[in-house]
Structures are given as structure tokens and as C-alpha cells.
Amino acid sequence: MKQKSLFYLFFVAMLLALVSCNPAGGNEPTADVTTVAETITETVAEADTETGADKVSVANCAEAVPGAHQLIYTAQGICFLYPDNYDVFQGEDGSLTLYVRSLLNTEAPFATVRLEAIDGRTIQEIVPDYPSDAKLAAMSFLTIDLGGEQAIVLDNLPGQDINRRVIAMHDGRLVDIMVARIGEEYGPVGEQAEALYQMMTETFQFIGIEPEAPLLAGPECPEAVVGTTLFTNVEDGFCLLLPDGYAVDDSLTTDNGGAETAVYVDSLMDSAHARLFITVEDANGRSLNDITTDKAAEIETMMGTSPMWTFGPMLDGVPANQFDQVPGQDLSRQVVMVHDGRLVTLTFIPDDPDAAAYAEMQILYDTVLDSFSFLWQN
């Protein structure tokens, strides 16, 4: 208890210093310093005495609405809503990252959520990049209600991108929420980050913990919007949206016995329109890096030069690599990923800027990458 008490005494002292330096900050009211101190003190007392008997039910989580998906993370005891154009990546450490299209996307805001047991540690031990006292003195400071707990909000934190951090304590754990690329200097992206922050924090709820429960984020398959049609392949374990007007043949097989799904307008050989081929094969124990190395060597043999490929795309939280302008009867764009021991390859045709169907291919590509979902997770 002594170590834990020291942590909270330090935390309260830090709050007092912050309020004295910044009587008001951000665009929300700052709580009275006495209230904040009392709240933190009460949290200290409850951290070791809460029995867990009166946990909030999942039924109390905010329900999904048009434009917002529901996230339920019972293993960590939290739930909240997030914008429906975001995907969620669960790290090996249990952290969550909310992103658009790719974790490396610099044209959209992103957010992370981390929860850790305090276990007598100082805040610097839990959050290594936590600002020093000198840096804290120059920052705006406010508090908000986060799922019934008083949370500290720190704005304009330095990093790869300017970000906002929300720090709260609940049931002996520290919650650290970060929203990046937030602020007027980011223009429309900053406005999106502000909306992301508001949605997450206003719907955030602590719930009972079930350590083995899987993460539930958004619907299993996307909902069709105007101009699109939902296609579900239960046998091969995926679903996605397609622009209206496309036909699908999911009865094909690859040369090595894998499953193949063809997406086309008039026929498989119709070169006047964009086409998509999705193959699902046994990865034979190979990782995504192994697959990428093998494919690069295969393409280099055909081209005589090293192929162009990029990393970073994420489809339903699964990392993928992309090869552009792969030679063949028509130039193609190929996206490869490994999921549940299977190699999944998406081949978009034509990947030739001079081709009449190139713009159509780009629309098909964007629609599929933004909606592709697996029907089961590893």
C-alpha cells in the first residue's frame, strides 16, 4: 500500500501544480482543484477495496447508431462508440489502435487506448513518454468525466504528431487514451480528430472484466450503402462491399487447389471493365514477410527488375503488403495477407493508368479495401 499511496500523492501534487499554472484550458470547463484531489483520493481508497461484485453490464454500453460502430472490449472492461470509417487493431499487449485504412495513414487522425494495472508504479513507469513537470507547466489542463471517473485531459502534447491524452484511473488500473493530429493546425484532419475524441470519451463506459472474452468491434460485415452491394463468402470466410453492377463467381479454384472468387461486369475476360480475383490458399506456415519475399522473387523473374511493393494497408486489422503493376496479360495490383494460416490475395485489374478501366479499378479497389472483413478471427 505504501508504494501505491506514494503514487497517488505524487499524482495529486501534480494536479495542484497544473491547476495553479493553468486555471483553465481547452474548450471544456476545468474542475475545481479540491474536487479533483478528492476524486483521486477516493480512487486510492477504492483501488484495493473494490470487490468487483457490482460491475457494470455490457447492456449499459452505448448502442451503435448510423455513422458509429460499437466497441466492446470485455477482456479489459471497457466499451465505447467510434466512427464507422475506422478499423480497430488489437496489439499483442492488449492495446487498441483506431485507424483509417492503414496504421501508417498520415491523412487521417488515429487513436490508441491502453490499460495497465498500477501495481504501485509511478505514472512515469506506466507511461514512459509522460511529460516532465516543466513540460506539464506549459500545457493546458482540464478534466472530464470518463465512464464515471474523473479524467485528466492534456492537450498539445508533442510527438510524431500533436496529440491529446486522457488519463484516468479505475479499479486499480490506469487508462491512457491518445488522439493524434488534433488541433486547428491540422485543418479538416484536426476537426475529424476532435470528433473522434468526442465520440470516444462521451460514450466511454467501464464494464465487468472477462479476461478471455474476444474483442467485438463493429458489425461482422459492413452494411451496404447507396451504390454498393454486400457480398459474403461464408466458405472462404470473408465479406465485402462491391460497387453496384458487378457479378460474382465464387466456384473457381486455383491451380494448387485453393479457392478463387472472381468479380466482374460482363465476363471474366471483359477487359472493358475492372475485375477482381480473390484467392484463399494454405499459407503452408509462411509469414507475410515470407510470402512477400517469395512473390517479389517471382515477379522479378518475370520483369527482370525488382518489383514495386509497399507495406502498411490493413484489412480488418490484418496487415497486408501491396504489389503494383504486376506483369501479366494485363498489369495488376495485388494485395497479399496472411490470416488464420491462410494466404489471401486480392488481384485488381487493370493497374495501368493508361487503361480505359483504370479509374473504375480504383473505385473498386477503394470500396473493397475500406469494407473487407473476415468472418472469423485468429
Q: Checking DSSP bridges between strand 87-90 and strand 110-117, what pairing results, if any?
A: unpaired
169 forms beta bridges with 174
Contact assessment for residue 104 and residue 87, using Cβ atoms and an 8 Å cutoff: no
Q: Tell me what pLDDT residue 135 has.
A: 73
For every residue of 99-140, DSSP letters joined together read: ESSBTT-SSS-EEEEEEEE-TT--HHHHSTTPPPHHHHHTS-
CB atoms < 10 A from the CB of 369, how many?
19
Are domains 2-217 and 228-374 of this chain identical in fold? yes
CB atoms < 10 A from the CB of 107, how many?
11
Joined grid coordinates for residue 333: 495490383
Residues 72, 160, 108: CA angle, nearest 5 degrees: 55
Neighbouring C-alpha atoms within 13 Å toward the C-beta of 194: 13
Instruction: Tell me the residue type at 273.
Output: H
Neighbouring C-alpha atoms within 13 Å toward the C-beta of 105: 18
Q: Tell me what pLDDT residue 231 has.
A: 97
Report the first-to-last Cα separation within the chain, whole angstroms: 39
What is the residue extent of each domain of the chain?
A: 2-217, 228-374
CATH 3.40.50.300 fits 228-374, yes or no: no
Q: Tell me what pLDDT residue 159 has.
A: 66
The C-alpha atoms of residue 186 and residue 137 are separated, in whole angstroms, by 24
Cis peptide before 109, with omega less than 30 degrees from 0?
no
Joined grid coordinates for residue 56: 457494470
Phi first, then psi, for residue 198 (nearest 5°) are: -60, -45
Joined grid coordinates for residue 194: 476532435
Using DSSP's 3-state secondary structure scheme, residue 217 falls into strand
Using DSSP's 3-state secondary structure scheme, residue 352 falls into coil
Residue with cell 506456415: 285
> Which DSSP symbol is given to 288?
H
Contact assessment for residue 111 and residue 177, using Cβ atoms and an 8 Å cutoff: yes
CA 163 from centroid of its chain's CA atoms: 16
Sign of CA dihedral 86, 246, 295, 340: positive
Query: Which among 26, 36, 9 is positioned nearest to 157, based on CA atoms?
Result: 26
pLDDT along the chain (378 residues), means of 10: 36 38 36 36 39 70 94 96 93 93 88 93 80 72 91 78 89 94 91 96 96 90 94 96 97 91 92 96 96 93 85 90 93 96 97 96 96 81
Query: Which among 168, 172, 171 is positioned nearest to 121, based on CA atoms?
Result: 172
> Which DSSP symbol is given to 31?
P
The C-alpha atoms of residue 317 and residue 321 are separated, in whole angstroms, by 13
Q: Which fold has domain 2-217?
A: Protein Transport Mog1p; Chain A (3.40.1000)
